[in-house]
Amino acid sequence: MADSTTIAGFLAREVRALRTRLERVQPFVLHESMVPAAAIAPEAMRAIDDLLARRIHQLQTQINGFLDWLPDAASRGISPAALQRHHTILRLHFNAVLTQFDIFSDALTQRSESEIGVWLAGLDALAADALAVPGAPYPAPPVICYLDRGAGAAIRRVRTRLPGGGNNPVAVIRVPRERMIGSGIAGSLVHEVGHQGSELLGLVNSLRPLLRGLQVGGGSQRLAWQLWERWISEIIADFWSVGLLGITATHGLMAVVSLPRAFVFRLNVSDPHPTSWVRVLLSAALGQALYPDPQWNRLAAIWRSFYPPHDLDPERQEVLAALLETMPAFVTLLVDHRPASLRGRSLREFLPAASRQPGRLRALGRAWRASPDLLLTAPPALAFAVIGQARWDGDISPEIESTLIAQMLTRWAMKGALAQERTERPGSRCRTVATAT
């Protein structure tokens, strides 16, 4: 076997090499190139860099402690296997730091892409607006968006545990690249914002006991209420999207779940997502409850004609029938729910229902088409609701819709960048940031 001096020297060089690589991990503000309009919010950048700086400092302290301890440990006859275990733990911690770095790198690197980077900053503005509902009893955390392949979106919520330890300092939302750019991307994005908002309001934990109390008796009715409880997290996120975007949300959802028939009618009780066929009809039912209008029945009829529920096995037909039968009661329970976090207000009262009524959205659409600058100065979620309503009604073409959304995203990104520039200290364009060393 190798002598202790050889072992200690070998491990010391390995750990020093690891420390050298760790010192190459620089704050994002030093190596991400993007135009100012594409940059994420300063508070988000600070939170990310502060997190990484803390994690790097902790690991550097562990590395230096190991190097100080190593010669004495080897001289006291601690086995090579034990020394290697300490070295391996350091390497695992190092890889955890890199994993956390890569989580945010994926979201920030795209900011350097032509047009895409600025549009992402515009989506950040939409996400922030959709989370900061007027009267919300929480401080809205920073949100950053990025694109990825696939039809679905996803969120890594703020304060959730990161790989390797520590809490996520910002909400990171992945949105599907295939939806850039049309009003449908708002439905996917605001759905994910709904997951964050639901967590901040404690809605899932507030609703689940009520849903469990309705799981009485037996047969398909009991199963239906069990499924509503199983799916409640995704349903609340869909509800948030409908509440902020109106029919834009349901129209966008149809595009996401328009899949081969076998997938649309797939019933998996372990999946937190509702069966697609039911999910679209539920979204329309929520829209009808919040904003009564014949359009919701028309949308539901289109969806049923795309996927008529025939030739299904009797068991599945029975479950779907039970879900449709219990849907009105479930919708009422949801929209009229008064969680403790809202201090007496119902979810219907919490959402901006007055400004999302279809008649109101159509009137705004007509006014904005006459004066386009009004659209560019509107709150992002409302602007998407108006554009999506006009697209659904056939008042604007898909081509015009895409052009308008590109203009809106760019305008919001520029507005955010200019607002930040005005808040910077006169004569200085530098910001204080945490360093990695």
Q: What tens digit of pLDDT does each residue of 69-97 get?
A: 988 887 888 888 888 888 889 988 888 88
Q: What is the pLDDT of residues 129-178, one digit of tens each?
A: 999 999 899 999 999 998 887 767 889 998 888 887 888 889 999 888 87
d(CA 416, CA 406): 16
Q: What is the pLDDT of residues 357-391, one digit of tens each?
A: 999 999 999 998 888 888 878 899 999 999 999 99
Both tokens of 98, joined, read 């890199």
| pTM passes above 0.95 | no
At residue 425, the pLDDT reads: 45
DSSP letter at 71 equals H
What angle separates helix 276-290 from helix 232-245, to the nearest 10 degrees?
Answer: 40
Residues 342, 345, 351, 357, Cα dihedral to 10° = 180
The DSSP secondary structure of 179-191, one letter per residue, reads GTTSTHHHHHHHH
Backbone φ and ψ for 91, nearest 5 degrees, come out as -65, -40
At residue 265, the pLDDT reads: 94
d(CA 214, CA 248): 31
> Which of 261-275, 306-320, 330-344: highest mean pLDDT?
330-344
Question: Do residues 123 and 409 make contact, with C-beta atoms less than 8 angstroms apart?
Answer: yes
As a whole number, the mean pLDDT across the chain is 87
CB proximity list for 38: less than 8 A, separation 6 or greater: 111, 112, 117, 118, 120, 121, 413
* pLDDT higher at 211 or 105: 211
pLDDT band at 434 (very low <50, low <70, confident <90, very high): very low
